[in-house]
């Protein structure tokens, strides 16, 4: 069903893009300054992304829907939305859920590889190693080797994508139980939805935690095309590497502390506050604590963003959840106090272009509350969700025939002589 709907839409999108390139191909959409060339290409418009856009003052907009309007939908619904541009009806949701359930298997070699890794491996290293190892079963690679026309490769990208999205929660939950000595792996429960089943396999059976997982796995699904993980994945995929290698590449980027790994740093920071004061500090004490950290040359985790210039709506959605479900919890109270204290401190310091909280400022405190206390695992949760956006972007790029990524770099000598 999903493939059929996509085939129809892709025909239309291809025509639209061909016409845009024909009529507007020579228009200029960006220029690049020397500072941008040295500055992570910040703000340079050099690629397209159909699944979502990030507005500096409104945050994530998925296929035209501001996140605040759709934060209640399930991960399955958002995956459908990312891919097709439409919210699914109940038949379409059932179809996706059935596709995920029918593919709920992880090859035995994956568990053997994970078991043979050093016991102190970072869970993100374990996750990307597992995903990468599954490349051996890639249908995309088989079809490519069989000489499938380039125009049809998106179908096999989607096929591998569904295999991967069905397996990732099982692998991730297996890593959690293995890495933190939680006992045997828990088998998937076919009566549960994608996120609920993941919570079940982690071994945290609280119904509110299942709700949190639905929210968490929805909110982290995509953040347009130029962030480190999406851009790395799409660059690797543009070489027609398999979806397994491409997703693993992006998630390795997500494992960096300035990107997805920030969520483990954030909770660590909040726990440091609790540890230091032994209770929820006054705003004045918290302000001094933040200044000490800044004066020691360290960032305030969970605050600032490369693109956003407002409180991240994903942060607001987590805060709403916390306000509805969490009672009398020091860690969450510290997160609330930080939201009052940090923006004015960062504004006064005058360095960060965005003093507001990002997605990572609140999520850890909620996970901690429900007993998921191993914070170096948090980026794995982010990865499960972000795989949806990466796969959707990859399918569309393949369908649109976007060629291999190859921007031009220049040397400092060239800049000195030519500008
Ligand atoms: N605390 C202290 N200083 C900060 C800051 C913060 N939270 N955010 C930015 N700054 C500083 C930068 O370090 C930089 O200082 P230098 O000039 O001395 O290098 C200056 O302000 C300008 O930075 P910027 O242009 O505002 O921010 P960048 O686009 O360079 O970086 C970051 C964006 C998110 C990496 C940055 O804000 C940061 O390090 N924040 C803390 C870590 C964090 O929360 N990361 C999670 C981001 C969300 C995400 O992608 N999750 O996956």
pLDDT tens-digit profile of 294-353? 999 999 999 999 899 999 999 999 999 999 999 899 999 999 999 999 999 999 999 999
For a mutational test of ligand 1's pocket, the pick from 304, 335, 362, i.e. the residue with the most ligand atoms closer than 8 A to its C-beta, is 304
Q: Evaluate if residue 21 carries a pLDDT over 90.
A: yes
Q: Evaluate if residue 264 carries a pLDDT over 90.
A: no
Whole-prediction pTM value?
0.95
**Please, where are the H alpha helices in 39-135?**
67-70, 75-84, 90-102, 108-116, 123-133
Q: Ligand 1 pocket by C-beta < 6 Å: which residues?
A: 258-260, 262, 294, 299-306, 351-354, 358-360
On average, the pLDDT of the chain sits at 97
Average pLDDT over residues 106-135: 98
**Ligand 1 centroid – CA 297 distance (Å):** 12
**Would you say residue 143 lies in a domain?**
no
**Ligand 1 centroid – CA 263 distance (Å):** 13
**Would you say residue 354 lies in a domain?**
yes
Q: Evaluate if residue 18 carries a pLDDT over 90.
A: yes
Query: Which pLDDT belongs to residue 262?
Result: 84
Domain interval for residue 327: 262-369
For a mutational test of ligand 1's pocket, the pick from 54, 346, 352, 362, i.e. the residue with the most ligand atoms closer than 8 A to its C-beta, is 352
Position 209 confidence tier, pLDDT thresholds 50, 70, 90: very high
The residue with greater pLDDT, 306 or 165, is 165
The closest alpha carbon to 135, from 101, 155, 164, 162, belongs to 164
- Residue the block writes with tokens 């795989």: 387
Number of domains in the chain: 1
Ligand 1: which atom is nearest the Cα of residue 42? 29
Average pLDDT over residues 167-177: 98
Active site positions, annotated: 259, 305, 360
The three-class DSSP label of residue 309 is coil
**Would you say residue 138 lies in a domain?**
no
pLDDT tens-digit profile of 62-88? 999 999 999 999 999 999 999 999 999
Position 192 confidence tier, pLDDT thresholds 50, 70, 90: very high
> Percent of the chain scored above 90 by pLDDT?
97
Sheet with 65-66, side-by-side order of all strands: 52-55, 59-62, 65-66
**Would you say residue 167 lies in a domain?**
no
Rounded to whole angstroms, how far apart are CA atoms 168 and 260?
Answer: 17
**Ligand 1 centroid – CA 354 distance (Å):** 8
Query: Which pLDDT belongs to residue 263?
Result: 86
Give the CATH number for residue 313: 1.10.230.10
Q: Evaluate if residue 1 carries a pLDDT over 90.
A: no
**Ligand 1 centroid – CA 48 distance (Å):** 24
**Would you say residue 68 lies in a domain?**
no
Q: Evaluate if residue 276 carries a pLDDT over 90.
A: yes
**Would you say residue 276 lies in a domain?**
yes
For 234-272, b/e burial (b = at least 16 CB within 10 A) is: bbbbbeebbbbbbbbbbbbbbbeeebbbbbbbbbebbbe
Query: Which pLDDT belongs to residue 258?
Result: 87
**Would you say residue 266 lies in a domain?**
yes
């Amino acid at each position: 069903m999903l493939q059929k709907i996509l085939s129809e839409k892709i025909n239309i999108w291809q025509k639209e893009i061909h016409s845009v390139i024909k009529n507007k191909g020579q228009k200029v959409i960006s220029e690049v300054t020397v500072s941008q060339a040295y500055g992570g290409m910040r703000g340079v418009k050099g690629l397209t992304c159909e699944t979502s856009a990030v507005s500096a003052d409104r945050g994530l907009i998925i296929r035209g829907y501001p996140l605040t309007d759709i934060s209640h939908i399930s991960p399955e619904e958002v995956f459908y939305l990312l891919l097709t541009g439409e919210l699914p009806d109940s038949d379409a949701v059932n179809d996706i859920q059935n596709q995920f359930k029918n593919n709920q298997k992880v090859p035995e070699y994956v568990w053997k590889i994970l078991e043979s890794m050093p016991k102190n491996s970072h869970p993100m290293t374990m996750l990307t190693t597992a995903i990468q190892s599954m490349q051996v079963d890639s249908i995309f690679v088989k079809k490519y080797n069989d000489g499938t026309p380039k125009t049809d490769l998106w179908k096999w990208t989607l096929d591998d994508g569904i295999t991967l999205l069905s397996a990732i929660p099982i692998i991730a939950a297996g890593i959690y139980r293995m890495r933190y000595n939680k006992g045997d792996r828990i088998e998937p429960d076919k009566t549960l939805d994608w996120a609920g089943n993941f919570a079940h396999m982690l071994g945290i059976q609280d119904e509110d935690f299942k709700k949190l997982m639905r929210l968490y796995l929805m909110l982290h699904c995509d953040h347009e095309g130029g962030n480190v993980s999406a851009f790395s994945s799409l660059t690797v995929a543009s070489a027609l590497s398999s979806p397994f290698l491409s997703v693993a590449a992006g998630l390795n980027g997500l494992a960096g502390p300035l990107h997805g790994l920030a969520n483990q740093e954030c909770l660590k920071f909040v726990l440091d506050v609790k540890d230091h004061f032994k209770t929820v500090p006054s705003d004045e004490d918290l302000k001094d604590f933040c200044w000490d950290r800044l004066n020691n040359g360290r960032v305030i985790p969970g605050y600032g963003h490369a693109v956003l210039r407002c409180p991240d709506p994903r942060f607001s959605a987590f805060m709403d959840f916390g306000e509805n479900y969490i009672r009398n919890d020091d860690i969450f109270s510290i997160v609330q106090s930080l939201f009052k204290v940090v923006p004015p401190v960062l504004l006064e310091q005058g360095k960060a272009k965005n003093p507001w909280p990002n997605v990572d400022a609140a999520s850890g405190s909620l996970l901690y509350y429900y007993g998921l206390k191993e914070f170096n695992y948090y980026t794995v949760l982010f990865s499960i969700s972000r795989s949806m956006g990466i796969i959707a972007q990859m399918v569309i790029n393949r369908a649109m025939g976007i060629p291999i990524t190859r921007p031009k770099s220049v040397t400092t000598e060239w800049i000195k002589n030519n500008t």
